[in-house]
Amino acid sequence: MRTRRITAVLMAGACLFAAPASADTLKEALTRAYNDNPTLEAARAQLRATDENVPIQRSQGLPSVNASGRYSEFLVQNSTSFIAPERALSADIDLGVPIYQGGAVRNGILAAENRVEAGRADLRGTESAIFTQVVAAYMDVILNEALVSLSTNNVDVLAINLEATSDRFQIGDLTRTDVAQSESRLAIARGDLRSSQANLVAAREEYIALVGTPPTDLEPPPPLPGLPASPDEAVDVALANNPDLIAAKERAEAAGFDIEVAGSGRLPRVSLFTNGGYQNFLGTLGAIPGEDADQTATSATAGVQLSVPIFQGGRVAAQQRQATAQAQAAYEQVIAVERSIIAQVRAAYSSWRAANAIIASSQAAVDAAALSLEGVRAENTVGNRTVLDILDAQQELLRAQVQLVTARRNAYVAGFSLLASMGRAEARDLGLGEEGVLYDPIDNYERVRGIIWDWQRDPAPVATSSRTVDIPAADGDIPDSTTPIEPIGN
């Protein structure tokens, strides 16, 4: 009877590798994060702010119109004037059209456009980083549910083992030492179960923070597409597609335009101007006897203005040297980012391959440990093995099972991190467009780049991401069946 009960518990442990009937998928989790993650929403808003630098720079090359009005009361009249007015109302309107500003406008626009491109790459990087965190959180929930299941099974097995040991002690077949060993292992197993439940709570809370909803019976993740065959292939793809590297290159190019903008301060400025004025003395303008005074006056002027800087105390030269040094720093940053990406890709590739190798060896260890435990139990019935041998064999099987599920989690996360480093872990790469319309940063850029009306504004800012304060606290319980972590790849 005891043998059948132990076998039943071991069979329950095999449920670790059975998929639930109804569950959330990784794609659903990624889609929720894509549509509701506050960090990603903030990055999109920040890019919209960067878009505005283009019309801001362009505005410096467009005409400007200014109007002014003034009402005056002359409290003390000029004693030598016979026609001094008591009050006056005046209005002026000025129109300026810049013609040439030393290339400052053109280069400023080019620099702003490059920074918009860098901002788009930053948004891609943020999206990829959020997805990597979501995948890690998703896999951590699955892993910790599996570890809780294994720990629960281990407690059940050791409890049955303690019961059997106690029964045999009662009839004098075993010693008190055997019972104490069983009690010790069971107490440790119960402590490990509590720890694994606490880790599961932490994993579920991290999932909620990223996705915005609690995890529900997570399904096995799908195979990862497009994994490279070699680290060199992975590096080649990353150098062409990694968003962080693209952003660094765009900023370096923008810094080159900044040098020209700074140097334009020593060049001439040419502009057209026109002015119109109106003045009304409101009937208070005096007149020479016998003459009527005209109470209103108008004026208009137009011309060309040339401004040639001669000496500015070295300010322009200092600004250009400063811009040159900042451009040098930007160029060096490109190399630094490139080095970091190469190291990151190679490390991720190595971790992915190592985890896959560990999966194979751990599966063999699980099979061997299960067979060993069965044999030790059989030998114990004929007196060739001790209770401690059974406990050690059970612990060896548990370690192999933990190593197996951990390796499966690590392999999947490392594989996804590798794709992210290669620039292939974004919404379009993952097929999230099938779930709804993807955010296109070009739409906002096209909307604002031609706006020249000063009173155009967007609605007041409000947070659009959902809050999680009303989601109940996560617990360490697991569903009736848990999710397997399958090997990854095509």
pLDDT at residue 305 is higher than 60: yes
Q: How confident is the model at residue 322 (pLDDT cuts 50, 70, 90)?
A: very high
- Band (79; pLDDT cuts 50, 70, 90): low
Q: What is the pLDDT of residue 437?
A: 81
- Look at 72-76, 86-90, 142-146, 395-399 and tell me which has the smallest mean pLDDT: 72-76
Which has more pLDDT, 119 or 387?
119
Strands (E), 257-358: 269-280, 296-307
Burial of 418 (0-12, 13-18, 19+ CB in 10 A): buried
For residue 289, the model assigns a pLDDT of 62
Q: What is the pLDDT of residue 291?
A: 65
Buried b / exposed e over 196-219, threshold 16 CB at 10 Å, is: bbebbeebbbbbbebbbbbbebbb
Give the orientation angle of helix 104-170 with respect to helix 441-448, to 10 degrees. 160
CA–CA separation, 418 vs 412, rounded Å? 10
Give the helix ranges, DSSP H, for 60-175: 104-170
CA–CA gap between residue 222 and residue 488 (Å, rounded): 8
CATH 3.40.630.10 fits 36-74+106-268+308-427, yes or no: no
The pLDDT > 90 percentage for the chain reads 72
Count CA atoms within 13 Å of residue 307 on its CB side. 15
Domain range summary for the chain, segments of one domain joined by +: 36-74+106-268+308-427
Does the pLDDT value for residue 460 go beyond 50? yes
Q: What is the pLDDT of residue 387?
A: 85
| pTM of this structure | 0.87
Confidence at residue 21, expressed as pLDDT on a 0 to 100 scale: 41
DSSP 33-67: HHHH-HHHHHHHHHHHHHHTHHHHHHHTTS-EEEE
